[in-house]
Amino acid sequence: MALIKDSSPAWLVLADGQVFRGKSFGVKGTVVGEVVFTTGMTGYQETLTDPSYYGQIVTQTFPLIGNYGVNSQDFESTQSYVSGYIVREWCNAPSNFRSEDSIDHFLKRHNIIGLWGIDTRRLTRSLREAGVMNGAITTEDPAQNMEALLTKIHAYTVAEAVASVTGTEIHTYTPEDVKYRVVLLDFGYKRYIRKSLMNRGCEVIVVPAGTTADKVAELHPDGIMLSNGPGDPAENTRIIENLREIAKLGIPMFGICLGHQLMALAMGAKTEKLKYGHRGANQPVIDLLSGKTYVTSQNHGYAVVGDSLDATVGTVSHINANDKTCEGIRYTAVNCFTVQFHPEAHGGPLDTAYLFDEFTSRMDTYKEGK
């Protein structure tokens, strides 16, 4: 039976003073965050449970969200990390044999404030033209307290992001047929990174973000995985120092998204904040070695400045076909390669899943040389 949609009003207030009036779903209240947009036509469950969205109010550009419901098997983590959620319309009668619940109930369970019924096309154009900006979703008329709300909006920053999403304990996940042992540094990792490794015979030891080189060495891994995660990569100075020492172990390393950025910083490169980031499942990436263009899934607001990497340390391996930003690095000074996009993307595309096979190939070579 279809749910009765709440007709009570809700508003989005942006830092530049724009106000969008819509309707409320999820829980009620007021939340401040960095307003971003993602272009995925599917995969909203993965978006809602991706730790990389910590501190952000996420706007879906696709107009109808929730039509295939929600099921816990597709979650990327055990909880939702978005600060708020904006859609044009949500489906209150999902149809899918795997569906367990509605998206409205999901938001309520995870205490997420939602807004629907606004012109998300207009909002997306604003963010593309001005760049991502802070904002607030509220179910209380902002006209009554606009000055105070704008003060909160302008003061907001996404801080201590990795520390807020990383685990605090070591967890080991073992497949039936173990061929490799991989240490996964958890900067806010997505579940399907772990599953992609396990599907290739990797025993995965998930360790907290701040794990030192000595501790990693004690686990005797055949490979080291650097996960995705949220926030400004340059803020993680202790982690960057650790990665510099971890790289000296000579163990094969593979980095994705934030892991790619942190490794670049550890190797002396720089990062920069993009105007509105790359978020969605349709980002074209060029492999500079083969010349092929792949369609990739991405979620990041920062990028490595390719020209800032010393050519004796490594070279840019992939670039974004749209804005030519760095999308991958192959290092020569250390046993490591990294990419900005998500080759494991659950919901797709999986055009670049072969990179996990390259990682296992590097581990084979490493094991033979021990």
The whole-angstrom separation of Cα 359 and Cα 254 is 7
Beta strands in 44-201 (DSSP E): 56-60, 64-65, 84-87, 89-90, 113-116, 133-138, 171-173, 180-186
The residues that are catalytic are 257, 342, 344
In degrees rounded to 5, what are phi and psi of residue 365? -65, -40
The whole-angstrom separation of Cα 305 and Cα 270 is 6
Residue 153: name the closest of 165, 169, 177, 136 by CA.
Answer: 136
Q: How far is CA 108 from CA 62, 102, 223, in A?
A: 22, 10, 39
The three-state secondary structure class of 135 is strand
230 prior amide bond cis, ω within 30? no
Which two three-digit tokens encode residue 238?
Answer: 């202790």
